[in-house]
Amino acid sequence: MLAAGLGAALALAAAQYFFPVSRAVRAGRDVNLAVLGERGSALLVYHTAAGTVDAFTISHSKPRASATVPQRALALLALAGGTTVQAEVFSVLVSSSPDLDVIRDALNGWRAEPRRFFSAAAWVGGLRASGATAISSFDLFRLFSELSGLGFSNFSTTELSRQGRGPEVQAEAEAGPAIRVEVFNASGRKDLAALAARHLRGLGFDVMTAASYSKIEKHTRVLFFAGDIPAALRLRSALGLDALEVRRSSQRSVAGAAVILGEDFDGAVLGRQGRP
C-alpha cells in the first residue's frame, strides 16, 4: 500500500513536470488556449499567477485549407497582442464559433447548478477522444480544474475584429498605428518614468506622457481607457508585469493605456539604469 501510494505520488509529480500545461501552471506562467471554429475563434489567456482569464474573440470566414492548426493558433495569439516568439499555444477545434457566454455562465453558476460542472467535464473529457485536441488527458484535467475554480469576475472578454478577418492572417497584415500610452512615476525613484518611456519607445509605443505621479504608490497599476484592453495588455507585457491585472480607468484620455510605476516595480526590465 505504502509503495503504491509513493509510486502514485511520484507519477503525479512527474506528470506535472513533463506535461506542458501542468508545467506552465506549476511555474506560474500564462497558458494560451486557442478555441478554433469554422466561423469564429477565441483565445483564452489564463494568467495562472493572478487567477484571471483574458478572452479574445474574432469572427472570420472559413479558414483556408492550407492553414494548419498551429498556424491559426499562433496567428490568433499575434492578433491578441501576444508574442509568437517561442510561444506555446494549446488548441481545441470546435465545429461552430466558441460561445464564451456559455463558458462564463458555467464558471459563475456551476456551484448553484452542479449539473453544469458535470456537463462541462464530460465535454472536456471527450475532446481528446474525438480528435479535437492534442492536449493530453492529464493536462485537460489540470486546465479544467484550474478554470473551474474561477468566477465571472475573473473573466474578461475583448472582441478583436469584425467578420471577414480570419486568425490565419499574419500579424504583419494586422499591424496598426503605434499604441499611445502614458507613464507615471509613483515609486519615489529618480527618472524612472523617463527610463520606462525610453524602453517603451524602443518597442514601438507612442509615449505621450512621462511624468511624476502626484504621490508615492506602493503598488504598480496598469490602466486602460475606453475599453482598450489590448493596449493595456501589450503595455503590461512590455514592462514584465504579466501577473498584474489590468484595470479600467474612470478618467478620459486620448491614450489607450497608462502605467503608474509603484515602489514594487522591478526596473530590471529597463536595463541597468532602471534598477533601484
Beta pairing class for 52-59 and 40-47: antiparallel
User: What is each CA distance from 85 to 75, 78, 88, 89, 118, in whole angstroms?
Assistant: 12, 10, 9, 11, 37
pLDDT, one tens digit per residue, over 206-255 is 899 899 999 999 999 999 987 678 888 889 988 988 888 889 888 888 88
**pTM as predicted:** 0.54
Total residue length of the chain:
276
pLDDT, one tens digit per residue, over 166-209 is 444 333 334 446 789 999 999 999 889 999 998 898 888 889 98
Give CA–CA dist 76/158, Å, rounded: 13
Based on DSSP, count helices (H) and strands (E) in the chain, helices before strands. 9, 10
Phi, psi values for residue 211, rounded to 5° = -150, 170
**Domains of the chain, residue spans:** 28-171, 180-274
Q: Is the dihedral of CA 51, 41, 171, 181 positive or negative?
A: negative
Q: Is 259 exposed, middle or buried (0-12, 13-18, 19+ CB in 10 A)?
A: buried
Task: Point out the least confidently predicted range of 67-71, 136-140, 181-185, 197-201.
Answer: 67-71
If you compute the radius of gyration of the chain from its CA atoms, what whole number of angstroms results?
A: 21
Is CATH 3.30.70 the classification given to domain 180-274?
Answer: yes
